[in-house]
Amino acid sequence: MEYQELLQMRKERGYEIAKKEKIVQKNGKWLVPSATNPHKTYEVVLTISGAECNCPDFTERGIKCKHAFAVYWTLTKTRNKDGSTTITETKRITYPQDWKAYSEATEQQKALFQKLLNDLCNTIDEPAYTFGRPRMSMRDMVFSSALKVYTTFSLRRFATDSKEAQSKGYIKKTPDYSTVAKYMESSELTTILKEILQISALPLKSIENDSFSIDSSGFSPNKFSRWYDYKWGRERDRKLFYKAHLLTGNKTHIVCGAEITTQYIQDVTMLPQLVQEVSKNFHIGELAGDKAYSSRGNVDVLDKLGIMPRIPFNERVTANPRGHSHIWRDLYNYFTYHREAFLEKYHQRSNIESVFFMIKSKFGDYVRSKTDTACINEIYLKLICHNLCCVIQETFELGIQANFS
């Protein structure tokens, strides 16, 4: 990698640190948080010749590191007419929180969650009964499965909540724990969950009408893949996980579209499908994603749908277009020569990181199910529970009406 490209990468990473972290000055040194270790800080000292840092990158290479660039982004230097220099320290951007609405929504969340979940399940079309022993209704099974995921209890410990839901009239019959486990393994349930996930986001359709983000994250089951390595003559294993590919709104953190795959599916291949599905219900003005989604094919798809891509380019790409399309070259030139303006918009992508944190911290970053289909259904249920929690929050904060139609 060339020297200028290396500096440009550090400059971009320094900008991200300056945007997200709090950089303070103490005893003539600037304390910059580490990008990988939240408990680690590095000391940057500004000198006449530039900046010095005690991080391994600067110590080993002796060139300006991302922590030094973060300090430069924090300081804005202005040259006055008389030759003097005015240094203005910029403050980290913070976003206000309506704590009163947050508290009310959290205190009443469980009761409102069951009510909204009941309304959402009423949109499910029951399959026609043909022959054999009558099965439990699909809406009751979806309600029970979603409530089980919301409580984060095991199937046996969930029995009390199931009986409570029946007493309130949300389900007709309390299912046995083994019945819930059996229905979770149904591929028919996967199709239903994907449909009601899209329906669960509709109450925020009027709010999420411009800026969106796309990314993926893993959910781990208790499974490993094992194989025999003939080269080294020993058995190896690897932890398996499932990838949740999400397209979310940046204002309310609602999940507008999702696709659950195995760990071997690349992110770049999922963008066209998610964008086309979400575009049926939401107006997408801008879409932010990391470099994993950077491809000419994805840019062409977004251009045809009238969506502005906020996707950075890889270091080795060029501005040369393929065929008769020049959108790739125009975006590349904007990314190269207007980097600061691009990063201002690209920073919206941090909202989807907040979405994954919200889901995993509340409902867990792992799945309890055993089979592949059951694991995928469990992840969809986590996303549905997250969406209902977002709708509840916005009913208190923005006064919207939860209408799943």
For the chain, 405 residues long, the average pLDDT of each consecutive 10-residue run is 68 83 86 86 83 87 85 64 54 68 89 93 80 76 92 88 91 87 89 94 91 94 65 70 94 95 91 95 94 90 93 79 70 83 85 94 90 93 96 91 76
Same-domain check for residues 164 and 293 = yes
Q: Are 204 and 392 in contact (CB under 8 A)?
A: no
168: number of Cβ within 10 Å:
11
Torsion angles phi and psi, residue 237, rounded to 5 = -145, 160
- HEC letters along the chain: CCHHHHHHHHHHHHHHHHHHCCCEEECCEEEEECCCCCCCEEEEEECCCCEEECCHHHHHHCCCCHHHHHHHHHEEEEECCCCCEEEEECCCCCCCCCHHHHHHHHHCHHHHHHHHHHHHHCCCCCCCCCCCCCCCCHHHHHHHHHHHHHHCCCCCCCHHHHHHHHHCCCCCCCCCHHHHHHHHCCHHHHHHHHHHHHHHCHHHCCCCCCEEEEEEEEEECCCEEEEEECCCCEEEEEECCEEEEEEEECCCCCEEEEEEEECCCCHHHCHHHHHHHHCCCCCCCEEECCHHHCCHHHHHHHHHCCCEEECCCCCCCCCCCCCCCCHHHHHHHHHHHCHHHHHHHHHHHHHHHHHHHHHHHHHCCECCCCCHHHHHHHHHHHHHHHHHHHHHHHHHHCCCCCCCC
Same-domain check for residues 85 and 161 = no
The domain tally of the chain equals 2
Same-domain check for residues 72 and 193 = no
Same-domain check for residues 118 and 74 = no
Same-domain check for residues 173 and 305 = yes
Same-domain check for residues 116 and 55 = no
Burial of 200 (0-12, 13-18, 19+ CB in 10 A): buried
Same-domain check for residues 301 and 169 = yes
Q: Are 322 and 300 in contact (CB under 8 A)?
A: no
For the chain, the straight-line distance linking the first and the last C-alpha, in angstroms and rounded, comes to 53
Same-domain check for residues 187 and 108 = yes
Cβ neighbors of 276 (< 8 A, separation 6 or more) are 301, 305
User: In whole angstroms, how large is the CA radius of gyration of the chain?
Assistant: 25
Q: Are 78 and 377 in contact (CB under 8 A)?
A: no
Question: Tell me, what's the pLDDT at 159?
Answer: 87
Sheet holding 51-53, edge to edge: 24-26, 29-33, 41-46, 51-53
Same-domain check for residues 46 and 194 = no
Give the whole-angstrom CA distance, residue 301 versus residue 20.
Answer: 31
Question: Tell me, what's the pLDDT at 131?
Answer: 66
Beta strands 75-79 and 234-239, pairing class: unpaired
Q: Are 284 and 278 in contact (CB under 8 A)?
A: yes
Domain span including residue 73: 3-89
Q: Please list the residues that pair with 225 across neighbouring strands.
A: 238
Same-domain check for residues 105 and 206 = yes
The amino acid at 279: S
Same-domain check for residues 82 and 191 = no
Picking from 89, 118, 142, the residue at the C-terminal end of a domain is 89
Same-domain check for residues 403 and 260 = yes
